[in-house]
Homo-oligomer: A and B are copies of this chain.
Amino acid sequence: MSVSTSSCAVAKQCLMAESGVEQIELLNAHDDIHGGVVVDMKDQPMDSEVFGSLLKASLSEWRQKEKKGVWIKLPIELSNLVHAAVQEGFTYHHAESDYLMLKRWLPETVDTLPANASHRVGIGAFIMNNKREVLVVQEINGRFKDTGVWKMPTGAVNEGEDICAAAVREVKEETGIEAEFVEILAFRQSHKSFFRKSDLFFVCMLKPQTFDIQEQNQEIAAAQWMPFEDYAAQPFVKQNKLFDYVAEICLAKTDEHYTGFTPLATTTSSGKASYLYFNHRDMGGLLTSDKQQ
């Protein structure tokens, strides 16, 4: 087929072949700032064989142009194309409920594409009233089911959610108590907690603003205010070093000789709202002049 170069669409490439000017079709794609290529898939249905041929031709083109990483984000509506991409040497990078991200590194050099998200983040909430009673719950499912253990409210920090906001939300969801975030007292990092993922768990101190417990969450079997000494004396807490340490730290905080990290609302270098957590007592001046909360 002989066409003029001016008729080439975005997804088409004109090549000189022995027979003259030849036009081949390629996948729509744009360059990224790291020398790579991002394929622009639409939600519209595509036949997997057509996709496979386009991908093969495109890869050949990108190799000639010395492109590095190639990214294909396939909406779940195009799950019929996953196999064709894998057959062309792509591996999975990450997935969310509605899409799968595939990648391929073209050069001979070491793959420097960024890794998938590596950590889940959780919070535990330490909340005490003015009778030195701590807010505790029993869960319906999970490890502590039917053990009689009373534990502090805990939960997962959502993607896009601030740690301080997650702590306030979880307490409200599990017990109906309104509370104000005070401080991160400590945190724990552990590994292989969920498939291959690592885990960061932040122990947060909150100050209650209401006191009437209303179990609002289907995950909670019971909730109560419990004397701190009774909480800390539970065999489960005493026998478990991590829980025992955390109880000691909470007690030190209650007795006002412990300082954790407090959030300061600020912005990242690219202008995104962000919290910086640090020891505000030791940096009092900085917080006094700039606290934006």
Contacts and interface: CB of A to CB of B under 8 A. Distances in A.
A131 to B, nearest CB: 24
Interface stretch (A22-30, A156-164, A207-215): A156-164
Interface of A: 34, 76, 79-80, 82-83, 85-87, 91-101, 109-110, 112, 114-121, 141-143, 156-163, 185-198, 200, 218-219, 236, 240-243, 245-246, 248-249, 252, 257-261, 264, 266-270, 272-279, 282-283, 286, 290
A214 to B, nearest CB: 19
Q: Is the interface of A mostly helix, strand, loop or mixed?
A: mixed
- The oligomer's copy count stands at 2
A270 to B, nearest CB: 8
A163 B191 CA distance: 11
Given A159-B115, A277-B186, A100 B97 contact: no
B92 A195 contact: no
* 6 nearest A-B residue pairs (beta carbon): A186-B278, A95-B95, A92-B95, A79-B86, A118-B159, A190-B274
B279 A192 contact: no
A75 to B, nearest CB: 10
A283 B246 CA distance: 11
Contacts of A268: 188, 190, 242
Contacts of A158: 115, 118
Contact of A189 (B93, B94, B163, B219): B163
Contact of A190 (B190, B200, B242, B272): B272
A195 to B, nearest CB: 7
